[in-house]
Structure formats: C-alpha cells, structure tokens
Structure 1
Amino acid sequence: MPKKYIYLIITYIAMQLSGVLALPFVQQIENPEAFSVGWSVATFALALIISIYFLRDEVSEFFRTEQKQIGTIILWSVLGFILVFITQIVAVVIETFVFGIKPGSQNTMDLMNIARQAPIFIIIISVLGPILEELVFRKAIFGSLHKRMNFFFAALLSGIIFAAVHMDFSHLLTYTAIGMVFAFLYVETKRIIVPIIAHMAINTYAVIGQLSIDPEQIEEQLKQLEQLQLIIIGGY
C-alpha cells in the first residue's frame, strides 16, 4: 500500500478518535451538545483537507485531464444511486425475514437525532462523511486489496471493514453490501468521484426522508414491520 494511503487511513482513525481530546472541555462548557457537534464538523473538515493534501497529485491529475467525461460520471453516479438503493432494500428484506433482525438502523437514528437538534451536522452525513469514507474504504483499502486479489474478495473485505466502522453490527449485511456496490462503481468507472457522488446522494436522500417524517411515525412504521415479520415467519 502506498504511503499516502497509509497516511490517509491514519488521518481517518485520528479523526474518529479525536473526540477523546474534547472530553476535558465538554464538562466545562455551558452547551456541551453544541460544542460536540461543532467539534465533529471541524475535525471532519480538517481530516478531509489533510486527505486531499495527501492525494493532491491524483486530484490535480483529474483537473488536468482534457477528457473528464463529465456525462459518463453523472450517468454512472445516477446508476450508482439506484443500485445502492435497491441493494439496501434487498439487504434489509433479507435481514428482516431471513435472519429475524429488526428493521431500522440505530446508527442512522442516532445521527438523525443529532441532525434534528443541530442541522449543521447534516454536512457530515451528506458531504464530509461520504467523501472521507470513499477515499479511505474504496480508494485506499479496496484499491490496495484489489491489486492482490479478485474483485469479490477485495470488495467483501473492504465492505466488512466499512460496515464494522459504523458500529451497527446487527446490520452488517446491509453496510457490507452497500460497500461492495460502491467498490463496483469505483472499478467500473476507475474514478473515485463516482462512488463519492452516489454515496453523498444516498445519504442526502436518507436525511431528507428521515427529517420529513415525524419520529413517532418512524416508530409506528417499525412496529408494523415487526408485526409483518412475525406473521410471515410464523407462517412457516
């Protein structure tokens, strides 16, 4: 793995662990929730700036290329959004009706609760997070693995790591499957910008969908899905 990718991964890990540095300050601040959100946005933005610096040669190469194929990028990004959307639905159905896992990601709910209280947090979910994750998990990790093994195993391993980082192990299948789709987009287009756009789009779609629904309605929908699950499973 090139050194710049190692530095990229270290930067991402440091960003994820940076909250530990903020703990001493949180207890002394009048509004700790706002401080925590501001700290998260600042550290994500700083990590992205540092990551782009490490990849500055590849970024500049893209802008120097005369044939950027913008139309192809847009087409594949739209297709990628659709593929991720369908994959997510299929994975959730399998988790629910095959493995008996309750629908609804706790990780997503926690992020949405923060976004409702501090809308600026949406920039992490819709922009900063997707860009960083694609640079780390697809470009650095998957890209390095794919040089040593076939697509399926490289995408699977990087997808599992991507899923584990989200700390929502009950939905490991969903996150892994989504990660594999992003890897497919990267391989097919040979441009990391495509899975980045698709990732940003699906996250933004989820944010809009979640914020437009009252939290009580979400709970009611989850209960209805659980009842349907019991009916179907009980019918076997």
Structure 2
Amino acid sequence: MNKRYWWILITYTLMQFSAVPGVLLLRELDIPLERIPGIWSMFSFTTGLLIIVLLLLPEIRNRHDVEGRSSRGEAVRWSIIGVFFVFAAQYAAALIEMFLLGIEPGSENTETIVEFAKAFPAFILVISVIGPILEEIVFRLVVFGALYKRFNFWISGILSSLIFAAVHMDFTHLLVYTAMGLVFAYLYVKTKRILVPIIAHVAINLFVSIVNVLLADQIEDWMEQLEQLEQQTSLIIGGLL
C-alpha cells in the first residue's frame, strides 16, 4: 500500500476521533447539546473528504489507465443494479439474523444517527452523501484493495466488511454490514470504478434518510390512519354479520 493510502487511513482515523475534542469545543460555545454531534460531524467529515480527495488526485488523473475499467454505460447499469443487490443482501442477512440467530431487527446505530439528523437536518448530507463517499474510498478502494492484492475476493471482502462494521460500532448486525460490504466490493471489482459502489451506497443511505428522517412523521400519520381504517372496517363487517 502506497504512502498516500496510509495518509488516507490516518486522516479518516483522526476524523473519527476528532469527535471528542470537537464536542467539548462546541459545548464551550453554548450550542444546544442535541445539535452538537450533527454540527461537528458536518465539519469533520467535510474536512476529511477534502483532504482525502487531494490525496487521491493522482488516481483521479490516471483513472482512465486502469485495465478492465468498465465503460460509462456499464458503470451506470451496475450502479442501478447495485442498489437492488444491496437491498437484497441486507434483507437476506436480516432474515438470517432474525430467524437463525434470534437477533431482533432494528439498529441502535441507525436510531442514534436519525436523532442527530432530526436535531440538525444538514447532517443528512453527511449520512447520505459525504459519509458513503468516505467509506467507499477507505473500506473498498484502500482497505479492500490492499487485501485483494494478497487474498481472494471472499477473504478480502469479509475482512474489510468486518472493519467497516466495527467502525459503525454495530457488532450486533455484523452479518448485515458484511453482506453490504461484499456487494460494494463486488461492484468495485466488477467495474474497476470506485464511483459505482459510491453511487449505490449513496442511494441506499439517501433512501434510509428520507424514510427515517424526512418522511418519518408522515409515515407515522399514514400508519395511524391505516389502523383507524382497519378498525372501522372491522366494526362495519361485525355489524353486518
């Protein structure tokens, strides 16, 4: 692994650990406590992404020289296919966790992130765009890429996905993160374009953000209306019988 990739890993690590001094700093500025995680994440993730993109400039300039790189049309097709692959992998992994391992659905990590986004709506940009870009660069381009030079796809994909899950501090759902990581790694290997798993990852996170943050209240109202309709229907049917 070249030196720039090591600097990318160092930058990402420092970005993650900067939350501790960052929170302390913002608390001194009398910013509401519930908004602090979103505000600092917006700053640290954006800064980290800018630094990492600068470190990747040689790869960006020479991206057309990559052997076996898919065409733009193929990249678009695999980006779309990849979204459905990730959803399918998540669903399959969740079913295995629930029925074979007895793990209840739902993620505390996701719930915490949703709360941050509700307190500071701009944090949605971190969840749905900046975060996925960073994670694909770090865990697929750098970590998976380094492992794939030494091991086969499955070993490289599983190891990089486990690290991916560990960073999210969601060890209960290791299987879900591993399944997602394997799909993202496959998309990267298949197309030789890191942009393809980035697009798929952004699409997945954007969908989750819209459902859990922007439409959460509206969906709750729809569910209440549906329950009321079911109750009214039951009463009508009961009266007819």
- Residue number in structure 2 paired with 1:198: 200
Question: Which of 92, 110, 116 is equivalent to 1:108?
Answer: 110
How far, CA to CA, are the matches of 1:7 and 1:25 in structure 2?
25
- Residue number in structure 1 paired with 2:129: 127
Q: Could you list the runs of 5+ residues in structure 2 that have no partner in the other structure? A: 224-241
How many residues of Structure 1 are paired with residues of Structure 2 in the alignment?
218
Distance 1:185 1:68, change over 3 A: closer
How far, CA to CA, are the matches of 2:134 and 2:37 in structure 1?
19
Q: Could you list the runs of 5+ residues in structure 1 that have no partner in the other structure? A: 221-236
Matching residue's letter, 1:121: F
1:21 to partner: Cα distance = 1.8
Question: Which of 207, 210, 226 is equivalent to 2:209?
Answer: 207
Residues 68-126 of structure 1 show CA distances to partners (whole Å, capped at 9, x for unaligned) of 83221111100110000000000111111111111001111111111122110000011
1:215 to partner: Cα distance = 9.8
TM-score normalised by length of structure 2: 0.84
- Residue number in structure 2 paired with 1:234: none
RMSD of aligned Cα (Å): 2.2
How far, CA to CA, are the matches of 1:171 and 1:12 in structure 2?
22
Between 1:154-163 and 1:53-62, the stretch displaced more is 53-62
Q: Which runs of 4+ in 1 moved over 6 A?
A: none
SS at match of 1:149: coil
1:148 to partner: Cα distance = 0.3
Report percent identity of matched pairs.
46
Between 1:142-151 and 1:36-45, the stretch displaced more is 36-45
Question: Does the 8 Å contact 1:26/1:36 carry over to 2?
Answer: no
| 1:41-52 correspondence runs (5 A) | 41-52=42-53
How far, CA to CA, are the matches of 1:121 and 1:64 in structure 2?
36
How far, CA to CA, are the matches of 1:174 and 1:42 in structure 2?
28
Larger CA Rg, structure 1 vs 2 = 2
- Residue number in structure 1 paired with 2:84: 82
Question: Does the 8 Å contact 1:8/1:54 carry over to 2?
Answer: yes
Question: Does the 8 Å contact 1:62/1:68 carry over to 2?
Answer: no
Check if 1:58 corresponds to 2:52.
no
Matching residue's letter, 1:213: A
How far, CA to CA, are the matches of 1:149 and 1:68 in structure 2?
23
How far, CA to CA, are the matches of 1:159 and 1:192 in structure 2?
16
- Residue number in structure 2 paired with 1:5: 5
- Residue number in structure 1 paired with 2:166: 164
How far, CA to CA, are the matches of 1:62 and 1:10 in structure 2?
23
- Residue number in structure 1 paired with 2:187: 185
How far, CA to CA, are the matches of 2:39 and 2:27 in structure 1?
15
Question: Does the 8 Å contact 2:23/2:37 carry over to 1?
Answer: no
Distance 1:68 1:160, change over 3 A: closer
Distance 1:68 1:96, change over 3 A: closer
